Chains A and B, each alone.
Chain A
Amino acid sequence: MVTLDKNFVTLENFGHSLRAPAYVFKPTRSEEIVQAFELANKTGLTVTARGAGRSYNDASLNGGGIVLDMSAMNRIVKWDPQTGRVTGEPGVTIEKLWQCVEPDGWWPPVVSGTMYTTLGGCLGANIHGKNNFKVGPIGEHVIEFTAILPAGTEVVCSAQNNADLFYSVIGGLGMLGIFTSVTLQMKRIHSGLLEVDAHPVHNLHEHLTDMLDDAPNYDYIVGWLDATAGGRGLGRGQIHAARYLNEGEDPNPQKTMQLKSQVLPLRLFLVFPKSILHYFMGPFVNNLGTWGVNTGKYIASLPRHTFRQSHAAFHFLLDYIPNWELSYGRGGLIEYQSFVPKETAEAAWTEMLKLSLKRGLPSYLGVTKRHRPDQFLLTHAVDGFSLAMDFKVTNGSRAKLSQMLQEFDQIVLDAGGRFYFAKNSETTPETAQRFLGEETIARFKSLKKRCDPNGLLESDLYQRVFGSYKT
């Protein structure tokens, strides 16, 4: 294959808060993945697959080891507009996927908040969308996938065939095998638009009750939570609930489903290019600035309104401002997402939000969603809600933030909550053990031993949460 040393590249997480150099290879065919495993066996290094590098934590980092950059394996192998089944390589991005299927009247059943993630990464983390309460995670829409196990064998898995691997490799953080092909079922749509209802919520109780009540009537629900507001407004924000349009509701579906109807605006107020917007956001990414921006946003959200919006514009909010994560400055950002059962969520998050305000470390972006459980081995979902919070990392805040997140972990665990490995960067082995349960971890490790007897697949995330085992 290639020489190691010339490919030693410093990689970062999406939040630019963590750096880890690794020997990076870019396979174009599945044989090259096998070659990488052979090289790993020979040199004693470990291997991690990396998709778009959009994880907020160390899921696609492997300091000092080999990282397989899967972005060159990005072909859509087969697309059948009759059945809505699409087969693609793991490096296919959600962007490429929706742009392939949408003009034919289909939409990916589950998408992330950014369209730049890859199928491999999405399946590895078993991502959820704003419709998790209705359709589950992306794994439930996989008809079949092929993965290479470190032993060199290729396995084909579906919910019927190799079911134990199907439910563990999906959501398995790339630690059991590396995807080489994924077949997904798309969702039929009758318009390029969604009907969106936006309404404000004035406190956490209202926030969660409204989400719960809205859920049966909509296809997507997402809440924005102003984490800088305390007192009576604690947990205030805005809920966007959207539904697909039925046949006939859109007078001109052919037009709205064209790709040019789905583009995100590149300019703000027609003149201001968004690509440089993040430079101007920087000065507002602090406690006072965010409080001001959030209060303005909350006031602007007060009128209840209904509108139609393209799928892309509704889903890919994070792509509105390119490189927005750079506005968090040199230390970057981290995200903390907790999944709490609906019965205990209000109490747990009230405590967390109050604590963050008391410590002077409010989250600058809070996003809530509604979830339902699923049967994947390392699942993060519960019958309840999730709250994702972004925190700015600075040299001065690291220790305080670390302490606070440890307390958050306790609150969430006591409330019967769970965590998401694609987002949280500080989850400890003890926390993982408590929410996953010893039995689940033992099952995962025994599958790991079966798929990867030499322990070749190891990311920094795996090292951090599961430790390495010696053979």
Chain B
Amino acid sequence: MPVKQMDFPTATPLKPRARALIIGASSGMGAALAMKLAREGYDLALIARREELLSSLCNEINQKDKGRARYYVHNVSDYSIVPDLLRRIVSDLGGLDLVIYAAGLNFAPLINEYNIENDRQMLEVNLIGAFAWLNPIAALFQSAKSGQIVGISSVAGERGRVGNPGYNASKAGLTSYLESLRNRLTRHGVNVLTVKAGFVQTDMLKAAQKVMFPITVEKAADDIWNAMHLRKQEIYAPWFWRWIMFVIRNIPSILFRRMSF
């Protein structure tokens, strides 16, 4: 039974609407991007597991912003329902211009701890969930010959450090998955932006011990918005991580395996 409701206004030539889907929108960068996009007039479909957070975010947006928001409670590792849910969201929004994959999970293990269960969960949320959502979205955008995909990856994906093997592996996977999507989709008019986040003040960061120059989620959202607008391929947020990672990427293994960060 059609469930299309009047939550989102119909676009007209004089009142065009931009439509975005944010996966992992309940907190952190996803939530900050939702606020930013709503201020810019986007209509938003927000996805996350935690309903209370989502509903209060939606209420806040619908009360004060130009854009409208509606939420869908979903666990990204519940892969089988993704195609149906995506179809419903595109129908509710009346189209889709932008998708942000911001779902991410980080269990920080002890230096000598190996935990397959935690690693599996991180891989499922950080990487396989991205496959589940971005594969069908890539097919849609390729067919429609337009669209933009933003993936929130991490500088952690650039080197395998002693601190968190599972997280590093999941983000390395996400970064190269996004690169593959970019190489597939650019020729079809679709932009793929990889965000390599450094230290941003999210819930995830509270688990980390050492923090150099963190930025607020709002600042990160602004940086991502600007990069999206310029249809860039890759950004570091904050920007100076480009140079930090340049150094780290070039540390020879003979040294790197003796370091403790």
Decide: B139 and A401 in contact? CB cutoff 8 A.
Answer: no
Q: Which residue of B lies closest to A6 (CB)?
A: B143
Decide: A468 and B14 in contact? CB cutoff 8 A.
Answer: no
Which of B73-81, B82-90, B125-133, B245-253 interfaces with chain A? B82-90
Decide: B87 and A45 in contact? CB cutoff 8 A.
Answer: yes
Residues of A within 8 A of B88 (CB): 44
B115 interface hit (Cβ, 8 Å): no
Residues of A within 8 A of B53 (CB): none
Count contacts on A: residues with CB < 8 A to the other chain.
47
With A63-B95, A64-B91, A65-B91 in contact, do A398 and B5 touch (Cβ < 8 Å)?
no
B11 interface hit (Cβ, 8 Å): yes
Among A9, A13, A46, contact of B91 (Cβ-Cβ < 8 Å) = A46
Decide: B10 and A460 in contact? CB cutoff 8 A.
Answer: yes
CA distance A140 to B90 in the complex (A): 39
A426 interface hit (Cβ, 8 Å): yes
Among B4, B87, B136, contact of A468 (Cβ-Cβ < 8 Å) = B4
Residues of A within 8 A of B209 (CB): none
Decide: A64 and B90 in contact? CB cutoff 8 A.
Answer: yes
Q: How many A-B residue pairs have CB under 8 A?
A: 114
> What's the interface size class on B, roughly?
20 to 34
Residues of B within 8 A of A20 (CB): 11, 94-95
With A21-B144, A63-B93 in contact, do A398 and B10 touch (Cβ < 8 Å)?
no
In residues 396-432 of chain A, which contact B (Cβ within 8 Å)?
398-399, 401-402, 405, 425-426
Decide: A402 and B14 in contact? CB cutoff 8 A.
Answer: yes
In residues 10-32 of chain A, which contact B (Cβ within 8 Å)?
10, 13, 15, 17-21
Q: In the assembled complex, how far is the CB of residue A445 from the closest CB belonging to chain B, in whole angstroms? A: 15
Of residues A5, A64, A456, which shows the largest number of chain B Cβ atoms within 10 Å of its Cβ? A64
1/0 per residue B158-184: CB within 8 Å of A? 000000000000000000000000000
A-B pairs with the 9 shortest C-beta distances? A63-B94, A17-B13, A64-B91, A464-B10, A64-B90, A402-B14, A63-B95, A8-B143, A21-B144
Q: Which residues of A contact B (CB under 8 A)?
A: 4-10, 13, 15, 17-21, 40-41, 43-46, 57-58, 63-65, 331-332, 334, 393, 398-399, 401-402, 405, 425-426, 454-456, 458, 460, 463-464, 467-468, 470-471
Q: Which residues of B contact A (CB under 8 A)?
A: 1-6, 10-16, 84, 87-88, 90-96, 136, 139-140, 143-146
Sample (24) of A-B pairs whose CB atoms are under 8 Å apart = A5-B136, A9-B143, A13-B13, A15-B13, A40-B2, A44-B87, A45-B91, A58-B12, A63-B93, A63-B95, A64-B91, A64-B93, A64-B94, A64-B96, A331-B13, A393-B13, A401-B14, A425-B14, A426-B12, A426-B15, A454-B1, A454-B2, A458-B2, A458-B4
